[in-house]
Amino acid sequence: MTDLFAPLQSLKLGHWFKLICGASFQHLPAVRNLTLAYTLAGADCIDVAADPAVIAAAQAALQVAKDLARDAQERGFGYKGNSPFLMVSLNDGEDPHFRKAEFNSTQCPTDCHRPCERICPAQAIVFNSIKEDFSGVVADKCYGCGRCIPVCPYDIIDTSSYMSTPGAIAPLVMSTGVDAVEIHTQVGRLAEFERLWQAILPWADRLKVLAISCPDGEGMTDYLKALYDLITPLKGALIWQTDGRPMSGDIGDGTTTAAVKLGQKVLAAKLPGYVQLAGGTNRHTVPKLKAMGLLKRAGGDEGAGGDEGARISSSPSSPSSPPSIAGIAYGSYARVLLSPILEQLENKEVTNTTVRATVRLEEEEVLLWQAVELAHSLVSQIKSHQER
């Protein structure tokens, strides 16, 4: 297996790690810095918004990571310059991942204690901020978790949502460096999924991975089987992303339970493809999977092979091998884990003369390796399990 397809090997061996930057998250400095830190820490996939500027920011970070590969190896992170796959997220209908909060700050009473500002994990809600020169929701930072909505004592926070348009998909799929697509769907949207898939289909053979993210719902197993029938034959690898409790991993240890439970449900359906957890995943996820025997161990069945290492079949294991989770995607928890360092970088952008200049993570060596160490503490959980 070549370094080029190391991420596929991770899927095959059951230690795939994906960073979810956020389908609605468009804060370019943060996307760039998160991508850099988690790439150097050994991530297999970086999932970003289907926005050309966001894609370019992630690609720039991947290039910087290659230049820092030797330093990363010397520090024991194991990154060898083999870039993770770059994935873009699309949706076939209404989805909380594709929305942003919004409100008019002039409607906020002056005596409001502003619970929205305190609860926002992305620090996207600001009031009279010198740094942002703005009051309200900083749209580029908002990733749609919705936690601010129920805590507003005056019920003035709303959301705006958007859908992926077929006309915008082709250039994204064809753009240099985009290796994978994730489609967010829900039970009952087969016709909508098919319209989106038809837009992708002319370029589907270029994709190394197709991921399908679907929350639980009545009839989910039959719906996923219908999706599989629709997309086959598929040249690249197929991932079923079990979105247990979306955008909640940073809340506490209990959130991972829904992701694991849904993962078990999809494993039981015995669908061709790999099962990857998401939605509520955090540092408690791997220990829970270990305790339940749901992670593949080193030396076990490695699944179906590919053509000279260039492809891996959508059938990851033999009938006799026990079902296992192939990987984990981390979103809000992974971002919040690095937020203290990213905040330090943002603070450096405002000088005494209030002239702003973007500070890149690689320009601050101490902060860079602190960020990579934090990222590695999460990535290494699933990697070290397979290596033992």
What residue type is assigned to position 40 of the chain? L
| Residues 29, 68 share a domain | yes
Indicate the number of domains in the chain: 2
pTM of this prediction? Answer: 0.88
pLDDT average, residue stretch 115-119:
90
Confidence at residue 119, expressed as pLDDT on a 0 to 100 scale: 85
Range of the domain at 175: 3-93+165-334+375-387
Can you read off the two tokens belonging to residue 371? 């960020």
Q: Is residue 355 part of a domain?
A: no
Confidence at residue 129, expressed as pLDDT on a 0 to 100 scale: 64
Q: Is the pLDDT of residue 288 over 50?
A: yes
Angle between helices 332-348 and 365-387 (to 10 degrees): 170
DSSP string, 199-238: HHGGGGGG-SEEEEEE---TTHHHHHHHHHHHH-S-SSEE
Closest CA to 114 of 153, 158, 157: 153
Q: Is residue 347 part of a domain?
A: no
Kindly report the CATH number assigned to the domain that includes residue 113. 3.30.70.20
Confidence at residue 192, expressed as pLDDT on a 0 to 100 scale: 94
Angle between helices 52-67 and 166-174 (to 10 degrees): 20
Q: Is residue 58 part of a domain?
A: yes
| Residues 318, 179 share a domain | yes
Q: Of 205-214, 313-322, 356-365, which has the strongest mean pLDDT? A: 205-214
| Residues 151, 10 share a domain | no
**CB-based burial, 198-227: b 16+ in 10 Å, e otherwise:** ebbeebbeebbbbbbbbbbeeebbebbeeb
Residue pLDDT, tens place only, 33-87: 999 999 999 999 999 998 888 999 999 999 999 999 999 999 999 788 889 999 9
| Residues 171, 240 share a domain | yes
Cβ–Cβ < 8 Å for 278, 247: no
Residues 10, 388: Cα–Cα separation, whole Å: 15
Cβ–Cβ < 8 Å for 273, 240: yes
| Residues 185, 277 share a domain | yes
Confidence at residue 190, expressed as pLDDT on a 0 to 100 scale: 97
% of the chain with per-residue pLDDT over 70: 85
What residue type is assigned to position 218 of the chain? E
Instruction: Compute the mean pLDDT over every residue in the chain, rounded to the nearest whole number.
Output: 86
Residues 169, 90: Cα–Cα separation, whole Å: 8
| Residues 84, 102 share a domain | no
| Residues 206, 319 share a domain | yes
| Residues 175, 116 share a domain | no
Q: Is the pLDDT of residue 183 over 90?
A: yes
Residues 116, 167: Cα–Cα separation, whole Å: 36
pLDDT average, residue stretch 232-251:
88
Kindly report the CATH number assigned to the domain that includes residue 11. 3.20.20.390
Q: Is residue 180 part of a domain?
A: yes
Q: 187-194: long-range contacts (C-beta < 8 A, 24 or more apart)?
A: 187/214, 187/217, 187/218, 187/219, 187/220, 187/223, 188/217, 188/219, 188/223, 189/92, 189/93, 190/223, 190/226, 190/227, 190/230, 192/92, 192/93, 193/92, 193/227, 193/230, 194/230
| Residues 176, 147 share a domain | no
Residue pLDDT, tens place only, 197-215: 999 999 899 999 999 999 9
| Residues 120, 13 share a domain | no
| Residues 233, 289 share a domain | yes
Q: Please say which residue of 162, 197, 213 terminates a domain.
A: 162
